[in-house]
Amino acid sequence: MKKYSLLLIVSALLLFTACLKKEEAPVRINPLVQLGKDTLLIRNFLTLNEINATKLEPTGIYYQIIKPGTGTVTPTSTSKIIVKYKGRFLNGNVFDDSKQDSVTFTLGKLIVGWQLGIPLIKKGGKIRLIISSGYAYQDIINSVIPPNSNLDFDIELIDIK
């Protein structure tokens, strides 16, 4: 009798666990479809805010050089860049701000939007980068930045090492 009771309990547990809802993997959006959505959102943002930005072809990055900077050194992926910056979502909410402190980064370890945008200016330059999600954090889940977020940065390039 114990044998049958144990078999009945094990069978019931197996049946119960088979009915539990399984955690589904997030649905990945085709990057080209996402780029199309991002481009529309960014163009609307630029128009509504009367921002005269240039598209860095063939990417999903738009930029506005506020001050070109001086010198002949162009940052590369191995360059240490010293910057002050502010990062916003397209709704204007700030998600990161170096405040008045400068911060040092290795350019090649930053999001692709920065890697492609920062070399457009020289030391002392200022640039505004509006970056589509595919050139930012893509669909990665981040505690601060939601997946597929388009980002708006003001960056001042203090120095290049």
* Cβ-proximal residues to 125 (8 Å cutoff; 6+ apart), any chain: 65, 66, 67, 68, 69, 70, 156, 157
User: Average pLDDT for residues 46-67, to the nearest whole number?
Assistant: 97
Between vectors from CA 15 to CA 13 and to CA 21, what angle results, nearest 5°? 100
Say how many domains are in the chain.
Answer: 1
Instruction: Say which CATH number the domain at 120 has.
Output: 3.10.50.40
In a domain, 115, yes or no: yes
User: Average pLDDT for residues 35-64, to the nearest whole number?
Assistant: 97
Q: What is the pLDDT of residue 1?
A: 53
Its sign, for the CA torsion 66, 149, 160, 120, is negative
Asked whether the predicted pLDDT for residue 76 surpasses 50, the reply is yes
What does each C-alpha distance from 122 to 97, 119, 150 come to in angstroms? 21, 7, 25
In a domain, 16, yes or no: no
The more confidently predicted of residues 5 and 110 is: 110
Asked whether the predicted pLDDT for residue 85 surpasses 50, the reply is yes
Structure confidence at residue 141 as a pLDDT band (50, 70, 90): confident
In a domain, 12, yes or no: no
Would you call 25 exposed, middle or buried from its count of C-beta atoms within 10 A (0-12, 13-18, 19+)? exposed
Q: What is the pLDDT of residue 158?
A: 98
Q: Which residues are bridge partners to 101 per DSSP? A: none
In a domain, 48, yes or no: yes
Q: What is the pLDDT of residue 143?
A: 84
Q: Identify the residue whose tokens are 């001050």.
A: 67
Q: Identify the residue whose tokens are 């360059």.
A: 79
Range of the domain at 115: 30-160
The pTM (predicted TM-score) of the whole model is 0.81
Strands 126-131 and 151-160: antiparallel
In a domain, 25, yes or no: no
Q: What is the pLDDT of residue 12?
A: 46
In a domain, 69, yes or no: yes
* Cβ-proximal residues to 61 (8 Å cutoff; 6+ apart), any chain: 55, 113, 116, 117, 129, 130, 131, 132, 135
Q: What is the pLDDT of residue 29?
A: 76
User: Average pLDDT for residues 3-29, to the nearest whole number?
Assistant: 50
Q: Which amino acid is at 146?
A: P
In a domain, 10, yes or no: no
User: Average pLDDT for residues 20-40, to the nearest whole number?
Assistant: 75
In a domain, 86, yes or no: yes
Asked whether the predicted pLDDT for residue 35 surpasses 80, the reply is yes
Q: What is the pLDDT of residue 17?
A: 47
